[in-house]
Amino acid sequence: MTEITFRSDMRVDYVQHTGSDEMVARAARVSTGSDLIENDKIKGLIRYLVRERHTSTLEHCTVTVRVEAPIFVAREWMRHRVQSFNEASARFSAMEPVFYVPDGNRPLVNAGSGAHPDLQHSDDDGQMWRGVNVAHQNVYWKAWAEYQWMRDAGIANEVARNVLPVGIYTQFYATANLNNWFKFLHLRDGNEGSPQYEIVEAANKVAGILEELYPVTYGVWAELNGRGGDD
């Protein structure tokens, strides 16, 4: 039987991007008939644009990332329909035996409700985590054995894949403009609402990529939205 790999991380890798902080400023200035702007004035203009929600100027910048995450994270991510996605197909190719198991830092107990979850650590987190870990691994081993049996028997991938749990890792590309990446972060970076633990980890990796690519625009957005950023 193929060896199974257990992971708890969300991987988000930069692929490509277009635009820059300067592009955001130039897109705004073209309305005045002059789309050139001195570098020392870019930050002030971008602050105004973000504060007043002139967000069309952000849409000239795009970023593509490649994500490795469990299927349950991918499905939540893909609810953001303003992004473009392409995902590995379990119909046309065999899945890899890589499965998600929560690590010891993940809160396990919901002290809230179904509609308003409030995940917290418990007094017996160590014992609880070990039980959760064993439960995940038992299911994964069984599911993977049945999946391999069907494929070895000549059963089509699109049938064999039905037994695989949502904890198996998938890979996909996601592309969005800067305005829609900020909307994604607003809902998923953990600073507001109650997003799922795993997608918060992934969203914060997206934030790191955006901060590196568009330091002025990201810094202003982060500051104005309570995420820190430049003064």
Q: Report the alpha-carbon distance of residue 3 to residue 97 in Å, rounded.
A: 7
* pLDDT given for residue 193 in this prediction: 85
* pLDDT given for residue 216 in this prediction: 96
pTM score, two decimals?
0.92
Our measurement of the distance from residue 127's CA atom to the centroid of its chain's CA atoms, rounded to an integer in Å, reads: 29
Q: What is the pLDDT along the chain (231 residues), one digit of tens a residue?
A: 568 999 999 999 999 999 999 999 999 998 887 776 666 789 999 999 999 999 999 999 999 999 999 999 999 999 999 999 999 999 999 999 999 999 989 999 888 887 788 888 887 768 888 999 999 999 999 999 999 999 999 999 999 999 999 999 999 999 999 999 999 999 999 998 889 999 999 999 999 999 999 999 999 999 999 997 554
* pLDDT given for residue 230 in this prediction: 57
Domain containing 36: what range? Answer: 5-102+168-224
Asked if residue 177 belongs to a domain, the reply is yes
Let me know if 188 is a catalytic residue: yes
State the CATH number of the domain containing residue 41. Answer: 3.30.1360.170
* pLDDT given for residue 152 in this prediction: 97
Asked if residue 113 belongs to a domain, the reply is no
- Name the E strands within 42-198: 62-70, 84-87, 98-100, 109-110, 119-120, 169-177
Indicate the number of domains in the chain: 1
Which candidate in 79, 161, 188, 227 is catalytic?
Answer: 188
Asked if residue 161 belongs to a domain, the reply is no
Phi-psi region for residue 228, left (φ > 0), alpha (ψ -120 to 50) or beta?
left
